[in-house]
Structure 1
Amino acid sequence: MAGVLMLGALTGCKRDAAGPGGAPPAVVPQVTVAKPIAQRLKDWDEFTGRLTARERVDIHSRVSGYITQVSFKEGTEVKAGDLLFTIDPRPYEAIVERAEAMLAQAKTAAELAGVEAKNATALRQGQAISVEEAERRLKSATGEQAGVRGAEAALRAAKLDLEFTQIRAPISGRISDARVTEGNLVTGGTQGATLLTTIVELDPIYCEIEADERSVLKYREMHKNGERTSAMFERIPAEMALINQEGWPHHGEVDFVDNQINPATGTIRARAVFPNADRLMAPGFFAKVRIPGSGEYDGLLIRDSAVGDDQGSSFVWILDAEDKAVYRPITLGPLLNGMRVVRSGLKAEDRVIVLGLMSVRNGAKVKPTPTDMQPAAAATK
């Protein structure tokens, strides 16, 4: 009888601890909260592009002849003025010597004609020769002087052709391979000349992009309203990354915008220039480029993981003064250094739930633990 009474007492105590009706006590979810980061922000618009050389020269021969020497190492850096190819100069040396002889002959004839013209003037004064003979000698002297100038021009042209037998680099840059090797005949001139090699300048390097018509109209409207300078009038900052790079490690400027929209694509061509001192970037690489898409404004940043999606609309959970969760719709901007820009819907003093979102219900009380909005790992980058 005593054991039955004791068991009944214990059962009654358990029921009292469980609460009315025997239901277990409510568990308050634990969450982590942080306040948004208030900053002066600037939006960026991203485009894709290709790297191109600032200068590219196809090396052709100006004169014809046989290659006697290739003076560069293929695929290396060359400087402007470096000797690249040598064409057999002997035929052109002979032409120079012949032109020199022709010039000497023309000068001798001109001197003789000058003496005769001088004598003709004196003889005419004494009426020893006719007027016709005097004029003939004067005209002959003038013609011989013209012959001297023609011979001098022929000599200069011959010396130029002789100089062109040494083909030198017109720019500094990285050279390709030799398309023609020693012993081969090359054709010179302005048409049909043999391609010998190619040189591209690598520092700085260009990145060409195509901006869509909607973006172009936005930028021009911003320039009109004084929000941002247009690249048509001044250089604007640009940042670039290759396909294997994170972030935007390369910093440069947009230095050119074309003068018309391509009606076939609805885009306009623009160009950004970037330093390439280590020469690791080469023409043809695919790249991502971003440029300022807005002027500076006061904005808020939160963790992207704190944002929820509700049928296409974005929202966050915030805490009220009683530590109850409140559903808050927001308008998002782009990602900026791993943080999400919030355009509207939040205040700087709001406490946003960043961890423990799955246990939150609207109006339910939670137990908050404060932290920094920007994670420590991101802050150290």
Structure 2
Amino acid sequence: MSVVELQKIKPSNELTGRIEAVQHVDIRPRVSGYVTAVRYREGADVAAGTVLFTIDPRPYQAAFAKATAEVARAKSRVELAKLEAGRAEKLLEANAIARAERDTTAATAAQAEAELQAAQAALQLARLDLEFTQVRAPFAGRTGLANVHVGDYVAAGPTTTLTKLVSLDPAYVYFTGDEQMYLRYVSRAAQSPVAFGLADETGFPHEGTVDYVDNRVDAATGTVVVRAVVPNHDKRLTPGLYARVRIPESDAIEAALVDDKAVLTDQDRKYVYVLAGDTVERRDLKLGRMFEGKRVVTEGLKAGDAVIVSGIQKVFPGSKATAAKPETAAVKVP
């Protein structure tokens, strides 16, 4: 037998979700060439900026040297053009040359300046290409399989994926709820706490915070996507893992909880047997959701009712029974 007590509970909803990485990227080459080194261990955690692959830098070193020389030559041309423009200006003041000749030298100096700027831009591009021969991790995370090996030729662009990189800490948990959940939850969704557990865990040992609720309900499925961000310091939450998610729906309320084993079914009615004195009575119930292994009763029981849990098959309404030592039917919310 179990004695009904009103307890404060926090109504919640249990949903299913998936762990996803906050950042994930396909690592692709930005220059073409032959791979000369794979500089990471597959599946290892790497820091931001770690060199993952090296592409043969020699052609780009030569291009960089050539661009450097072009800048030096362009600077010499600028210096010479400025000197000639200065002389022409003095000669024009002395009426020693025609104005058209002075204009030509001034234009030549301006052209030399433009050529210097173009040479400097080409040098910058050559420097970038040389830097891109070192393929680096754009953020800290865990590496995937290397899709190329030393000696393979790779082409710049979206066609070649060298490897994949995912961040681990923090992580996202994506889950979906129906329209009823959304309507109950949306008013308190922002920065709301959630708890979740993995397939091999009991209960909901991990905690996170909702940071995103989709801006529309999917008309085809009647569901809405919600996302929570969770710490992952031990890096156990691997992207793609299944997660059981529990979200709060309201503030704490008083409710009666009974053992679900005591609830019987009569067609579309739910009921329990209650011991009133030494007489068995039937009580029809309106039930709510499960809460920590107990069934929430919204109507049909009151505090102090003695619900028969064991030996139900031996009793019926109006029969006499002797109560065993009662136990509390509800548990407090931690």
TM-score by length of 1: 0.81
**Residue in 1 aligned with 2:196?**
240
Task: Give the C-alpha shift of residue 158 in structure 1.
Answer: 0.5
**Residue in 1 aligned with 2:232?**
276
Task: Give the C-alpha shift of residue 86 in structure 1.
Answer: 0.7
1:255-297 C-alpha deviation (Å, 9 max, x unpaired)? 2112223333332222223333222332222333232234432
Contact kept in structure 2, 1:95 and 1:158, CA below 8 Å: yes
In the alignment, structure 1 residue 308 sits paired with structure 2 residue 276: no
* Residues in 1 aligned to 2:259 and 2:224: alpha-carbon distance in whole angstroms: 35
| 1:1-381 correspondence to structure 2 within 5 Å | 33-189=1-157, 191-192=158-159, 194-220=160-186, 223=187, 229=188, 231=189, 234-320=190-276, 322-374=277-329
* Residues in 1 aligned to 2:155 and 2:316: alpha-carbon distance in whole angstroms: 82
- Higher mean displacement: 279-288 or 49-58: 279-288
Contact kept in structure 1, 2:144 and 2:165, CA below 8 Å: yes
User: What letter matches 2:142 in structure 1?
Assistant: R
User: What letter matches 2:192 in structure 1?
Assistant: I
1:226-250 C-alpha deviation (Å, 9 max, x unpaired)? xxx1x2xx12222223333332222
User: What letter matches 1:201 in structure 2?
Assistant: S
Q: 1:337 and 1:265, CA in 2 relative to 1: closer, same or farther beyond 3 A?
A: closer
1:2-41 C-alpha deviation (Å, 9 max, x unpaired)? xxxxxxxxxxxxxxxxxxxxxxxxxxxxxxx332232222
Q: 1:365 and 1:266, CA in 2 relative to 1: closer, same or farther beyond 3 A?
A: closer
Contact kept in structure 1, 2:14 and 2:244, CA below 8 Å: yes
**Residue in 2 aligned with 1:26?**
none
Q: Secondary structure at the match of 1:317?
A: strand
Which consecutive residues of structure 1, in runs of 5 or more, have no partner in the other structure?
1-32, 224-228
1:163-205 C-alpha deviation (Å, 9 max, x unpaired)? 111111111111011100001111014x43x210001112222
User: What letter matches 2:256 in structure 1?
Assistant: L
Contact kept in structure 2, 1:242 and 1:285, CA below 8 Å: yes
User: What letter matches 2:5 in structure 1?
Assistant: I
1:313-371 C-alpha deviation (Å, 9 max, x unpaired)? 22222233x43222111211122111221112111122222333233232333222333
1:49-77 C-alpha deviation (Å, 9 max, x unpaired)? 32222111110110011111111011111
In percent, how many aligned pairs have the same letter? 42
Contact kept in structure 1, 2:11 and 2:253, CA below 8 Å: no
TM-score by length of 2: 0.92
Q: CA RMSD in A?
A: 2.1
Find the structure with the greater CA-based Rg.
1
Q: Secondary structure at the match of 1:348?
A: coil
Task: Give the C-alpha shift of residue 148 in structure 1.
Answer: 1.2
* Residues in 1 aligned to 2:135 and 2:81: alpha-carbon distance in whole angstroms: 42
Q: 1:285 and 1:70, CA in 2 relative to 1: closer, same or farther beyond 3 A?
A: same
Q: Secondary structure at the match of 1:368?
A: coil
* Residues in 2 aligned to 1:313 and 1:244: alpha-carbon distance in whole angstroms: 36
Task: Give the C-alpha shift of residue 213 in structure 1.
Answer: 3.1
Contact kept in structure 1, 2:14 and 2:245, CA below 8 Å: yes
Which consecutive residues of structure 2, in runs of 5 or more, have no partner in the other structure?
none
Contact kept in structure 1, 2:3 and 2:329, CA below 8 Å: no
- Higher mean displacement: 338-347 or 356-365: 356-365
User: What letter matches 2:38 in structure 1?
Assistant: V
* Residues in 2 aligned to 1:264 and 1:328: alpha-carbon distance in whole angstroms: 40
How many correspondences in the alignment? 333
- Higher mean displacement: 169-178 or 345-354: 345-354
* Residues in 2 aligned to 1:66 and 1:266: alpha-carbon distance in whole angstroms: 51
Q: Secondary structure at the match of 1:61?
A: coil
* Residues in 1 aligned to 2:198 and 2:5: alpha-carbon distance in whole angstroms: 30
* Residues in 1 aligned to 2:178 and 2:231: alpha-carbon distance in whole angstroms: 26
Contact kept in structure 2, 1:303 and 1:373, CA below 8 Å: no
* Residues in 2 aligned to 1:300 and 1:42: alpha-carbon distance in whole angstroms: 12
